[in-house]
Chains A and B, each alone.
Chain A
């Protein structure tokens, strides 16, 4: 274990977060079991009050979750000097087997948290708590992920051993080692760029169809999930080399560094916002028939589509800038 202030901060917040989310989920189970809006009993009154507590707790912690995702990468990057052979966050994350799973879970939890907040928001639009059971069942599914993340992160930090030889991003993403990461990296750059733009155009079409005729909510949600994967792959295989002006440098973390003007923050942030809001549209689709939401839900969905498309446009423009203005050409 390395006694680094940022590690302490991440650890404290992850443990608090997991505790609060699990606590909220336990409350939620009570709500799922005993909720009865028609009843005027004391239990029902208490439950109605508790829903406020649960939503407040979650909206706070889900916001912290977003910051912690970036702080985690930033910290992994800044302590890489402590490990022989590591030159950026990639090296730190490969020091032991828990690094990447923690990062992946942080990403998944961020998406889950965002989706839950969208559902919560939709629920608050209806006067009769129409989605309350769904939302707390979803919370019960989300809570174990948070607990798992806290556990994995703790193991990751406890097993950070400064004497281990790790690989730097050059070694991990070099063609010699064959794994998923290298397959992504070795994807031919220009076709990859084509796929990125193609999937962006498809999203635009799906979003447009939804805005115009109110159809294809599931399609838009699903397409956003696929596009998220495509976009992350494209960032690694095309956008990073253009930005670094080095055909062999594919690191997805170095773009967060000051040397590259913190370019990665707006890039990833816009992508994540687009993905969460876009997937939220699909998540809300089955509840359009709920009587108390019939009026508000389509408007909310349209707003989410607009936000998602706007953020997506920002992301695609940000991806295009290095390609246009880089001194490197991969043609």
Chain B
């Protein structure tokens, strides 16, 4: 056993020395290989982190949201619905919710208006997210003006700025009192944006949703798990699309690797010939080629994954963020929570290393079965 290991160690030693002797060729291969791994790793890490973010955000989301839709279009929901829905067995509470978006033409950004359930700001004051504070250069005590639904100007005093830690969700948030919200949005007194239900037993979600639909045919109940599932599918799908697209790059890389492996220089052929002449067996040369593949793959994999990690979690994934994230101008500083999954690393390994191995196996075998006398003559 120990002797076998020793033998492999010596072969590995020799291989590494040989690779370092051909710096240019090895370097080019590792660089291209790393680039492919980097692209894939960045896409997968980014998708995974977004999925995690969505999961965290939705963890505290209401179990069921009920919207009203008229001829397929979304409409405010009458507040009385809440009472009737709250009486459905299994629903522990039903609460009308007031929220919406406000487009600020000056800074060309969308804000999210929310009337909090508890601790509403006093009428005439608002609490704003850190993104808006930076954008509008607003500090506690300043006045901020908005244009109401009827064109009338409304002005509010900033009571407080939300701390930055909350990331994606709170950057564009405005907390406002119910009275001010209605004055700004024009939603009449008896109506709300939607209803949120608390349902404790997850097994009852589907039944409760079904009952709501039967009793109020103009409503659309949305179960939290469905949102999560949709996000999951969406981010996975985007990751998959990126993977397919980088398949082109991967194919180019495989051709490149195959070419490198096939195009043995006269020098290398001679080297293998000499090795065989001094007593190396075909299996030794194959072991050498195997270690060569391992060394190159391992280096490129580690480098690519590390660079991808840095790119996504430190560099704000500047290469893909515009495509994968969305286009709102108010998300300048969001940092994703670093999260790496073994499955993802496995996927990268299979997407890159397996095709690389396939493309180099036959050329290595051809190299290993060279007759020494044919080369040295």
Query: Which of A9, A12, A20, A84 has its CB near the most chain B CB atoms (within 10 A)?
Result: A9
In the assembled complex, the Cα of A28 lies from the Cα of B283 at a distance in Å of 18
In the assembled complex, the Cα of A9 lies from the Cα of B350 at a distance in Å of 5
Q: Check: B8 CB closer than 8 A to any chain A CB.
A: no
Q: A52-B369, A82-B232, A82-B233 are in contact. Are A20 and B358 (CB under 8 A)?
A: yes
Q: A9-B347, A71-B347 are in contact. Are A53 and B365 (CB under 8 A)?
A: yes
Q: Chain B contacts of A79 at CB under 8 A?
A: 232, 236
Within 8 A of B (CB), among A68-87: 68, 70-71, 74-75, 77-79, 81-82, 84
Q: Check: A67 CB closer than 8 A to any chain B CB.
A: yes
- Cross-chain contact B369 with A49 (CB below 8 angstroms): yes
Interface string of B274-285 (1 = CB under 8 A from A): 000000001100
In the assembled complex, the Cα of A75 lies from the Cα of B349 at a distance in Å of 14
Choose one: A9, A52, A74; the contact of B283 (CB below 8 Å).
Answer: A52
- Cross-chain contact B369 with A68 (CB below 8 angstroms): no
Q: Chain A contacts of B240 at CB under 8 A?
A: 2-5, 7-8
- Cross-chain contact A56 with B343 (CB below 8 angstroms): no
- Cross-chain contact B283 with A67 (CB below 8 angstroms): no
Q: Tell me the interface secondary structure of chain B in the complex.
A: helix
Query: Which of A3, A10, A20, A64 has its CB near the most chain B CB atoms (within 10 A)?
Result: A3
In the assembled complex, the Cα of A162 lies from the Cα of B290 at a distance in Å of 41
Q: Check: B20 CB closer than 8 A to any chain A CB.
A: no
- Cross-chain contact A67 with B349 (CB below 8 angstroms): yes
In the assembled complex, the Cα of A47 lies from the Cα of B341 at a distance in Å of 44
Q: Check: B105 CB closer than 8 A to any chain A CB.
A: no
Q: Check: A60 CB closer than 8 A to any chain B CB.
A: yes
- Cross-chain contact B343 with A64 (CB below 8 angstroms): no
Q: Check: A37 CB closer than 8 A to any chain B CB.
A: no
In the assembled complex, the Cα of A207 lies from the Cα of B251 at a distance in Å of 49
Interface string of B208-250 (1 = CB under 8 A from A): 0000000000000000010011001100110111111000000
Q: Chain A contacts of B93 at CB under 8 A?
A: none
- Cross-chain contact B347 with A5 (CB below 8 angstroms): yes
Q: A4-B239, A9-B346, A53-B362 are in contact. Are A64 and B228 (CB under 8 A)?
A: no
Interface string of B236-273 (1 = CB under 8 A from A): 11011111100000000000000000000000000000
Q: Check: A13 CB closer than 8 A to any chain B CB.
A: yes
In the assembled complex, the Cα of A48 lies from the Cα of B244 at a distance in Å of 40
Choose one: A57, A60, A67, A82; the contact of B350 (CB below 8 Å).
Answer: A67
User: Closest residue of chain A to B290, judged by CB?
Assistant: A56
Q: Check: A36 CB closer than 8 A to any chain B CB.
A: no
Q: Check: A6 CB closer than 8 A to any chain B CB.
A: yes
Within 8 A of B (CB), among A168-204: none
In the assembled complex, the Cα of A124 lies from the Cα of B286 at a distance in Å of 14
Q: Chain B contacts of A60 at CB under 8 A?
A: 357, 361
Interface string of B315-356 (1 = CB under 8 A from A): 000000000000000000000000001111011111100110
Q: Check: B37 CB closer than 8 A to any chain A CB.
A: no
User: Closest residue of chain B to A306, judged by CB?
Assistant: B1
Choose one: A13, A77, A303; the contact of B1 (CB below 8 Å).
Answer: A303
Q: Check: B35 CB closer than 8 A to any chain A CB.
A: no
B273 to chain A, nearest CB (A): 15
Q: Check: B44 CB closer than 8 A to any chain A CB.
A: yes
Q: Check: B368 CB closer than 8 A to any chain A CB.
A: yes
User: Closest residue of chain B to A7, judged by CB?
Assistant: B240
- Cross-chain contact B350 with A71 (CB below 8 angstroms): yes
- Cross-chain contact B354 with A8 (CB below 8 angstroms): no
Interface string of B19-34 (1 = CB under 8 A from A): 0000000000000000
- Cross-chain contact A52 with B243 (CB below 8 angstroms): no
- Cross-chain contact A12 with B228 (CB below 8 angstroms): no
A207 to chain B, nearest CB (A): 18
Q: A8-B244, A303-B1 are in contact. Are A162 and B233 (CB under 8 A)?
A: yes
Q: Chain A contacts of B43 at CB under 8 A?
A: 5
- Cross-chain contact A81 with B241 (CB below 8 angstroms): no
- Cross-chain contact B350 with A3 (CB below 8 angstroms): no
Choose one: A2, A57, A70, A71; the contact of B236 (CB below 8 Å).
Answer: A2
B60 to chain A, nearest CB (A): 17
- Cross-chain contact A5 with B354 (CB below 8 angstroms): no
- Cross-chain contact A6 with B347 (CB below 8 angstroms): yes
Q: A12-B355, A56-B286 are in contact. Are A3 and B346 (CB under 8 A)?
A: no
Interface string of A111-141 (1 = CB under 8 A from B): 0000000000000100000000000000000
- Cross-chain contact A67 with B346 (CB below 8 angstroms): yes
Q: Check: A205 CB closer than 8 A to any chain B CB.
A: no
Q: Check: A330 CB closer than 8 A to any chain B CB.
A: no
A28 to chain B, nearest CB (A): 15
Supply 13 further A-B pairs (C-beta < 8 A) apart from A10-B350, A303-B1: A3-B240, A4-B237, A4-B239, A4-B240, A5-B47, A5-B243, A9-B243, A12-B354, A56-B364, A64-B357, A79-B232, A81-B232, A82-B236
Residues of chain A having any CB pair with chain B under 8 Å = 2-10, 12-13, 16-17, 20, 49, 52-53, 56-57, 60, 64, 67-68, 70-71, 74-75, 77-79, 81-82, 84, 124, 162, 303
Interchain residue pairs A-B with the least CB separation, the first 5: A3-B240, A9-B350, A6-B347, A9-B347, A71-B346
